[in-house]
Structure 1
Amino acid sequence: MSGAVAQGNQAQLSGLLKSQEGIVLVLAVLAFVLFSLLLPSFFSPGNILALIRSVSILGILALGMALVVIARGIDVSMIATMVVSVSWAFVIARSGYSLEFALLVGALFAVVAGVLIGVLIAFGEVAPIFATLAAGSVIYGLGRTFFFTLEMQNVPPDAGWFSLIGQGRILGVPVTVVVFGVLCLALHLVLSRTRFGWQTYAMGNNPGAARITGISNRPMIVAQYAISALVAYGAGLVLASSASAINARLFNSTMIYDILLVVVLGGIGLNGGHGKVRNVILGTIFVGILLNGMTIMNIPYTIQNLVKGVVLLLAIVIDSLVNPRDEQTSQQGDL
């Protein structure tokens, strides 16, 4: 019996190492060891702490993206929603309102933005890539025109408890990591233990069949984009708490491509219907190590973008080979 169990475990380990998840895990370990040996400052406590914080923020954003990608969608408006909702919340707080009220307003704005995007996709039948791309520009334009004028919005003064989110620790563990872990657990339970999660996978596998079986695809789509927007807002709060400010210039950065890189590299196929939280965790760790190592090596920003672009392109090509697009996906043109 013990021999059979050992053989079964060995077979599972062999299968993992041959899968995309196993390959990404091995690459992450190799990258970490290589950077630790070549870059003395990489393994320093300060850099490891900075790496953990940045990885956590990227991972939180990737969780929201993963949810919509599993359902055959995509949300490239996340960064716009994040910077505008958080920036506006800080403006409101500095106008004399309590920080708690301001943060609630920011959350409501993010949810409303996500709902409107979901409605545009579900009821307007606009392809998600185009709907979220246009919506991101609209959200950012509205924010800069009516809500705030300065790109940099500092955390309001006397926000003691808020600073703990990005700079505090619980039993020695940074709160940012705890937040990421809690959200990972929450999304895992939602996807694996709830009807909402099962229906999300069903929509990703075959939207037509899901509709025939009684799943209300349109309300589901609206809910998924609302959750994605709310997750983006939460990631923005963690980021602002860590840096004591939020910079609206992030909208024009390559951060959205970093999120897509995490999702695709981790093994969540763009054709929808499959993927788990562990895929997000693996992709987050690998991309975080890669970005941190290139930054310490003082590689020019343009070269970093080139590297990320090549890796993302390769990941998409591999995903298309491993998870071929079916006829229905091709007809929808959803990505």
Structure 2
Amino acid sequence: MAASDTIPKQAPRRSLRHIALTQELIVVAVSVVLFVFFAVALDGFLSSGNILNFIRNVAILGMLSLGMAVVVIGRGVDLSLIAVMAVSMTLAIVLANKGYSFPMALAAGLLFVVAVAVVMGFLIAYVEIPAIFATLAVSAIVYGMGRGVIATLDVNNVPDGLDWFIYLGRGSLLGIPMPIWIFAVTALLLSLFLRKTGLGRFIYAIGDNISTARITGIPVRPMIILQYVIAAVMAFLAGCVTAASIASMNMRMVNSTLIYDVLLVVILGGIGLTGGRGGVRNVLVGTVLIGLLLNGMTILDISFIVQNLVKSTVLLCALIVDAILNPRDEQTSQQGDI
């Protein structure tokens, strides 16, 4: 009887692992199918120009998604990532064009994103404004500052003579484009941070159960601020790669659907919106899938409206799947995370 009693206790654990593994395998399988289909059906898909463009876009999307992943694991959401990315790099470029050294201009841009993240994290952690509203409001404010105070033009060009900076977006090392190297290094560092450090484990604990985290002595409010700072720094790095790739920064991207692409990567990759689950590996598989989908639709010359329709439908389906696999509990509802 004792042996049989242990069977019901072990079976649910195996079932949950099976579900998580199946979700990740499905994403990988769909990515492989899409790649093979596009390679066969689209003449220019395997061209060097398209592959390089795909790699750059995937790297930028991946870095933004890494930042979003940290926040979502901590049971939050950050809708300001694109505004922070675009405006911080615009600030750096404008300062450089006014005569400041480019390293100093980049430092000013980095300080800008950290300041914005601290204010935003304070509003969420201490004022207790729901993250979705706080980050949406901050996004509008940051974009307004960028367009009305920092720069008079939507598109601002990187100054001439910055070959070392342009190399970050257009160069390669050992035959691999630099954006992929940067994405890989940031992914590795963030994975080590989340899995091997106390601060990373605190973020998982807060996302899993914020009340229990408080009881155990975790500094919940400062940790919430920290996760938004990490996300903002990742957005700044993505902005650096973007500006280095095209030698400019276009603030109009704030009004694009890029933030929904980032959410798609995180949710499809398997990071539950209820928090406390997932990691860098989920971001990697989600990034490849969404990158392939966007690249294929672009080559097929699918209209922007239809692309948005496809992405919105996929996002809705992903939210439904997430709600089924990671159901809300009473504590989640009380926190009002998103």
Pairwise TM-score range, normalised by the shorter structure: over 0.9
* 1:4 matched residue in structure 2: none
Q: Distance in 2 between matches of 1:28 and 1:71?
A: 27
CA contact (8 A) 1:59 1:280 kept: yes
* Offset, 1:15: 4.4
* Offset, 1:134: 0.4
Q: Does 1:255 align with 2:258?
A: yes
TM-score normalised per structure 1: 0.95
CA contact (8 A) 1:203 1:273 kept: yes
* 1:69 matched residue in structure 2: 72
Q: Distance in 2 between matches of 1:147 and 1:47?
A: 34
Q: Does 1:47 align with 2:53?
A: no
TM-score normalised per structure 2: 0.94
* 2:103 matched residue in structure 1: 100
Q: Distance in 1 between matches of 2:90 and 2:192?
A: 31
Cα separation, partners in 2 of 1:44 and 1:16, compared to 1, 3 Å: farther
Q: Distance in 1 between matches of 2:149 and 2:295?
A: 36
AA matched with 1:140: Y
* 2:81 matched residue in structure 1: 78
Aligned pairs for 1:115-194 (under 5 A) are 115-194=118-197
* Offset, 1:17: 9.1
Q: Distance in 2 between matches of 1:313 and 1:92?
A: 41
* Offset, 1:292: 0.2
* 2:290 matched residue in structure 1: 287
Name the SS of the counterpart of 1:268 in structure 2.
coil
Find the partner of 2:249 among 225, 246, 251: 246
Q: Distance in 2 between matches of 1:154 and 1:199?
A: 41
AA matched with 1:303: V
Cα displacement string for residues 167-190 of structure 1 (whole angstroms, at most 9, x for unaligned residues): 011111101000000011001100
Q: Does 1:111 align with 2:114?
A: yes
* 1:3 matched residue in structure 2: none
Q: Distance in 2 between matches of 1:132 and 1:303?
A: 27
Q: Distance in 1 between matches of 2:145 and 2:88?
A: 11
AA matched with 1:221: I
AA matched with 1:145: G
* Offset, 1:16: 8.1
Q: Does 1:331 align with 2:304?
A: no
CA contact (8 A) 1:16 1:22 kept: no
AA matched with 1:110: V
CA contact (8 A) 2:54 2:291 kept: yes
The 4+ residue runs of structure 1 with deviation greater than 6 A are: none
* Offset, 1:157: 1.2
Unmatched segments (≥5 aa) in structure 1: 1-10
AA matched with 2:111: L
Find the partner of 1:300 among 303, 309, 318: 303
CA contact (8 A) 2:20 2:270 kept: no
Q: Distance in 2 between matches of 1:331 and 1:215?
A: 19
Name the SS of the counterpart of 1:246 in structure 2.
strand
Cα separation, partners in 2 of 1:48 and 1:17, compared to 1, 3 Å: farther
AA matched with 1:299: I
AA matched with 1:80: A
* Offset, 1:18: 5.5
* Offset, 1:93: 0.3
CA contact (8 A) 1:28 1:289 kept: yes
* Offset, 1:300: 0.2
Unmatched segments (≥5 aa) in structure 2: 1-13
Q: Does 1:275 align with 2:257?
A: no
**Range that drifts further, 154-163 or 258-267:** 154-163
* 1:215 matched residue in structure 2: 218
Cα displacement string for residues 218-274 of structure 1 (whole angstroms, at most 9, x for unaligned residues): 000111111111110110010110011110000000000000000000000011010
The number of equivalent residue pairs is 324
Name the SS of the counterpart of 2:203 in structure 1.
helix
* Offset, 1:160: 1.1
Q: Distance in 1 between matches of 2:280 and 2:142?
A: 28
Name the SS of the counterpart of 2:99 in structure 1.
coil
Cα displacement string for residues 89-148 of structure 1 (whole angstroms, at most 9, x for unaligned residues): 100001011111101000000110011100010011000000000000011111211110
Cα displacement string for residues 151-210 of structure 1 (whole angstroms, at most 9, x for unaligned residues): 001111111100000001111110100000001100110011000111110000000000
* 2:7 matched residue in structure 1: none
Q: Distance in 2 between matches of 1:59 and 1:18?
A: 21
AA matched with 1:61: L
AA matched with 2:204: Y
Compute the RMSD of aligned alpha carbons: 1.4
* Offset, 1:330: 1.2
